[in-house]
Amino acid sequence: MDIVDPRIEEYLERFSAPHDELLAELSAETAEKLGSTSMLTGPVAGRFLELLVWFGRPQRVLEIGTFSGHSALAMAAALPEGGRIDACELDPGRAAFAQRYFDRSPHGSKIALHVGPAIDTIERLDGAFDLVFIDADKEGYVGYYEAVLPRLSERGLIVADNTLASGRVVDGDRPPIAEFNEHVARDPRTVQVILSVRDGMTLIRPV
């Protein structure tokens, strides 16, 4: 199911600020060498994340699920002075791919890439997070949410990707993300809104 009419998707991309050249190259090489292009953040969602960072001015960002590095670089471009991103990626090959682009970017030095299970990385990291972007295995979303919620700063924000599961959330087959959506909706500790950006992005803040 198309969440948004493909003609509208094309219109949104055409009239949103385009990729910078490095991210366009990253996207093309991801499609050629890694496949799974549906896992790419893409120019519209990437700009959305960048604007959230620009507006919120977080000093500490946690990314759970880095894939080829697009979203981390999009957010890093808008980080304020002294800001940093801890990026978690389970797959060493994808992590190496992303690191190549981090090394080429003027913003790459703001990103620390951690290879291995994200839950383990979260436990090792100290301090609070101002922004958490969750875009990893959907079965793990509830666990990631519970791990990071107590670690949010006073005005911290969680952004969860793919929360509409290509429309399957309304098809009755209960994809794994449906459990996460219901879990968050029942949680009195937070306020949330699901946006139909790309494959669904949920913004969550503490009460």
pTM of the full structure:
0.95
DSSP H helical ranges for the chain: 6-15, 21-29, 42-56, 70-76, 92-104, 118-124, 141-148, 176-186
Q: Compute the mean pLDDT over every residue in the chain, rounded to the nearest whole number.
A: 95
CATH class, 6-206 region:
alpha beta
What is the percent of the chain with per-residue pLDDT over 70, rounded to a whole number?
100
**Three-class DSSP category at 180:** helix
- What is the per-residue pLDDT for 56? 97
Tens digits of residue pLDDT in 59-74 = 999 999 999 999 999 9
Predicted confidence (pLDDT) at residue 17 exceeds the cutoff of 80: yes
Predicted confidence (pLDDT) at residue 40 exceeds the cutoff of 90: no
Instruction: Give residue limits of the domains in the chain.
Output: 6-206
Tens digits of residue pLDDT in 89-142 = 999 999 999 999 999 999 999 999 999 999 999 999 999 999 999 999 999 999
Distance CA 58, CA 138 (A): 25
Predicted confidence (pLDDT) at residue 1 exceeds the cutoff of 80: no
Instruction: Output DSSP code: residue 39.
Output: G
Predicted confidence (pLDDT) at residue 178 exceeds the cutoff of 80: yes
**What is the 3-state secondary structure of 67-114?**
CCCHHHHHHHCCCCCCCEEEEEECCHHHHHHHHHHHHHCCCHHHEEEE
